[in-house]
Every structure is written in C-alpha cells, then in structure tokens.
Amino acid sequence: MPIVYRREPAKSGSELRAACDRLLRDIDGWRPAPAGFRLKEVQMASGLWLRMEHPGGEIRIQIIPKGPDIPHLCEAGDVLLRVAGEEPKISPALSGIAWLAAGLRSLASRGQAGYIPELVLAATAYHDWIGKASPLRIHGPQAELRLLLSCNQKCFFCNCDENAPNLVGSAREAEQALLRFYEAGARRLVLTGGEPTLHAGLKGIVAFARRIGFSFISLQTNAMLLGEGSLAGDLHAAGLDSIFASLHGTHAKVVDILTGVHGGFERTLRGIEECINQEIAVTINFVASKLNLRELPKFISWVKIRFPQGIHGVVLSFMAPVAAGKANLKQVPRLSEARTVFLMALEEGRRCGIPVRVAGICGVPLCQAKGYEAQCDEVNNPVGVEIPSDRRLGHRCLSCAYGNRCTGFWRIYLDAFGEDELLPFSEEDLSSAGISS
C-alpha cells in the first residue's frame, strides 16, 4: 500500500491558482507582448510552467528559484527561466522569452515581484504533496491515465471500478498528472476510463500531452463515439496516434449482449473504420468469456476480411473475476477451455498475417501458451516482478522455472476452481522457447 501523506502544504490549491492568475496579470500589464505572442496559462509542477503561444507554435517556460549550478536559459530577477525540451532556435520564440524575462526583472526592480520566488517554492511543495497524497503508478516509459469511470456500455466483464489506479477527474487534474508522469520519465501515454471519449476535455488533454513532449498517445475505447461527427479526426489532429478498441465478436447478436448496448456492435465497427480512415493505428482487444470464447479463432480471420485497410493487431484478454466480473463468475471460462482456443487463435494469426498476442495481467499465464511464448506480454516480465494483491502463484508454481517472473493468476479463480490447470515450466521448456530463467 502506498503511504498517504496527510499534512497539507502551507497554501491551498485555490490560493496558489489565484497567485498564478495574478502573475499572468502582472506580466501582461508590464507592456504588450511581441506580435504573435501570448501567455496562456501558468501550471504548477516542479516550479511554475508558463505556456506561451508564439508565431511558430507554443513553448513551455519553467520558472525556478535561483541556485548554484542550475542549468538555465536566463535570469529574471530572483528566479531562473528554462525551456521544456530543446531550446527554441527561432528568433520569435527567443524574443518572447526575452520579453518575459524583462517583465519579471521590471517587476522585481519596482518591488512588485517579491511574491514570485515564494510562489515558485509553494507551487513545488504543493505539487510534491499532491504526488504523495495521490500516488500515480507508472511502469517504465509508459504511463496510463484514467479519465473517468462512467461508460456508455455495460459489459458484464468490466474490470474497472473505483479502486482502479491513476484516476483523475477534471482536465486540470489530468494535466497535473501528465506533468508528473513526464517528469518521472514517461514518454508514452495510454488514456483510459470508463470510456474516455465521454470526457468533455479529451481533445484538450491529448493536445496537452503532445505539447509537453509525449511521443506516443493511445486511447483505450469501445470506439462507439469515434464513428460519429468529427471526433476521430479532431483527436488525430490533437496528437492521438492509436486506439486500443474493444471488440468481442463477429456479429451483433453476441456482442450487444456482452456490452449491454443494442446497436453497439455496428457503432464500434464504424468507429474503428473512421479511425483507420483518419490514419489512427487500431489494435483490437478481444475479451474472452464463456459467451464468446468459441468464436475466437474465426474472429481473427474475420478481422482480416472485415478491415481490409489493415489493423495493427489483435490482443487476447481473459475475463477477469474482478469488479463487474466478480459478480458474474459463471461467465468466466476455465483456463483449460481457454488454453486450446487461445492457441488456435495465435496460430490463426500467424496464418492470416495478423499480429496476435496475449495480454499480460489481463490475459492468461505464460504456461497456458507453451509454444507461443513470444506472442505473450508476460514473457517480458522482469525477474522479481510485483504480483498484485488480488493475484497469487499456485503451489505448483513453486517448481516452475519461470516462477520468479510470473504475475500468477486471480486469487478468486484459483480459490474457486483450484490450481491443477497451471502448468509449470521446466528449464528445458524455457530453453527450447528461447527464454532466460
């Protein structure tokens, strides 16, 4: 469990935002900005970040306290200025920074900037406190941000509830989280929900993520709204690279039952097609339950025919007995049933030329895909990988040569159905699969 720090910083978020608004007014009131320049917003993170529009686009300028040996672009009274990413090379951008620095120096010389160093420190303290009070989980260079819990489908296998990590509410909270992710080293972003296309600020959040430096932005979605109006095109223009689209069958009769939305199947197909037309990469996520498990192998070849423009791949997931799935355990297939079908689907992907892979925690253990290990996300786990609290290893896993890199399986499942379906790897198994133990 992450530690929750309950001691709040000296200034509240509303007080700090009011001070940030004052800073914008003070700088704008110094003298008019150069033509084509406009200060748009002050954001609180490590120091303060000012968003500045300029003729060539937009830059983010960081204000930090003075200190020895701190790399910076220029001094501005009692603070230093830095620029996010590469320093702008074009003179219009530099002239805007020079105008900002001159304004801060002018305020300092007139005794009107005394609050700015204190504001920088207070904003940093507040940002750090928020980071400790609301821990964000990040895995290497990729971050996942949950924008909301509401959804326009009612899947009986949904694994999302109020305990889901990295949940934010407003667009402002999302931007603060993105800044924290970026500072922690993340450069790839997944936006999820609930259904993220329901979030009124989605386009702005995507644009903000691209602006601060995320190189790849993906959306986990049921795609129903992406086939309506200009949403897909707007998101692509804002910087969206890819969608991870939920599609769990080949016809409406089954899919509409799975998702609880009459007509949802056709709307998802239109959304996927529109994303392909907008040159947004599409990966399809198939969640296997008892209701749709048997059609999985033919689903792979159907996808090849249904989307001749091409998709980037299909991911095979297994209905998790958590959240809504916990209340529908009768629809959770047995691993022994799923194993055969998953292997057939993986082989069908090879035959059709469609990349098919098994999801990590949302899929099945690596031992259920012997012979196809390279197509399973679990094969990339590091030694000593963390096992979530709602999962565990089985007793048979103690003899598995891959046990120290496995995330186990769902506790509820193993407690209900036993552990006999787990198939430990021998050292010879790993060696023949080209996997190091």
Phi, psi (5° rounding) for residue 338?
-70, -35
Query: Mean pLDDT throughout 139-153?
Result: 87
List, in sequence order, every residue forming a beta bridge with 217; answer none if it has no partner.
189
Residue with more model confidence, 232 or 327: 232
For residue 301, the model assigns a pLDDT of 96
Query: Mean pLDDT throughout 359-387?
Result: 93
For residue 91, the model assigns a pLDDT of 58
Record the tokens describing residue 49, joined without a space: 């970040």
Count CB-CB contacts under 10 A for residue 327.
11
Contacts of 198 (CB under 8 A, 6+ apart): 148, 150, 151, 152, 225
CA 430 to chain centre: 32
Q: What CA–CA distance (Å, rounded) separates 300 from 355?
A: 10
pLDDT per residue as tens digits for the range 35-65 = 888 888 787 766 788 888 888 777 778 888 7
Q: Domain coordinates of the chain in residue numbers?
A: 13-124, 136-333
Beta strands at 188-192 and 138-139: parallel, antiparallel or unpaired = unpaired
CA dist list (Å): 203 to 109, 145, 229, 236 = 41, 14, 14, 9
- Which one-letter DSSP state was computed for residue 213? T
Quick one: pLDDT band at residue 7, thresholds 50, 70, 90?
very low
Residue 144, pLDDT above cutoff 60: yes
Count CB-CB contacts under 10 A for residue 281.
17
DSSP H or E run through 380: none
Contacts of 399 (CB under 8 A, 6+ apart): 424
Please state, rounded to an integer, the average pLDDT across all residues of the chain: 87
Do residues 179 and 213 lie in contact, with contact meaning Cβ atoms separated by under 8 Å? no
Among all chains, which residue has been given the structure tokens 């400790």? 132
What topology is assigned to 136-333 in CATH?
Answer: TIM Barrel (3.20.20)
Q: What CA–CA distance (Å, rounded) separates 396 from 385?
A: 18
In 372-426, which ranges are E strands?
391-392, 409-410
Residue with more model confidence, 167 or 421: 421
Q: What CA–CA distance (Å, rounded) separates 262 from 153?
A: 10
Quick one: pLDDT band at residue 135, thresholds 50, 70, 90?
low
Query: Mean pLDDT throughout 121-143?
Result: 68
CA dist list (Å): 207 to 192, 233, 240, 324 = 16, 13, 8, 32
SS3 216: strand
Record the tokens describing residue 141, joined without a space: 């260079």
Residue 329, pLDDT above cutoff 50: yes
pLDDT per residue as tens digits for the range 388-417 = 889 999 998 989 999 889 999 999 999 999
For residue 129, the model assigns a pLDDT of 57
SS3 234: helix
Residue 9, pLDDT above cutoff 60: no
Alpha-helical (H) ranges within 66-161 are 91-109, 115-133
Contacts of 171 (CB under 8 A, 6+ apart): 199, 200, 201, 204, 205
Residue with more model confidence, 138 or 134: 138
Quick one: pLDDT band at residue 5, thresholds 50, 70, 90?
very low
For residue 6, the model assigns a pLDDT of 30
Query: Mean pLDDT throughout 248-265?
Result: 95
Q: What CA–CA distance (Å, rounded) separates 145 from 178?
A: 8
Residue 30, pLDDT above cutoff 90: no
Q: What CA–CA distance (Å, rounded) separates 123 from 130?
A: 10
Do residues 283 and 190 lie in contact, with contact meaning Cβ atoms separated by under 8 Å? no
- Say which range, 53-67, 265-279, 309-323, has the weakest mean pLDDT: 53-67
Query: Mean pLDDT throughout 69-81?
Result: 79
- Say which range, 1-15, 183-197, 338-352, has the weakest mean pLDDT: 1-15
Among all chains, which residue has been given the structure tokens 């409406």? 252
SS3 48: strand
Helix 296-306 and helix 335-352, axial crossing angle in degrees, nearest 10: 30
Q: Percent of the chain at pLDDT above 90? A: 53
Count CB-CB contacts under 10 A for residue 115.
14
For residue 71, the model assigns a pLDDT of 74
Nearest to 378 by CA among 354, 356, 362: 362
Query: Mean pLDDT throughout 103-112?
Result: 85
Residue 87, pLDDT above cutoff 80: no
Count CB-CB contacts under 10 A for residue 326.
15
DSSP H or E run through 324: none
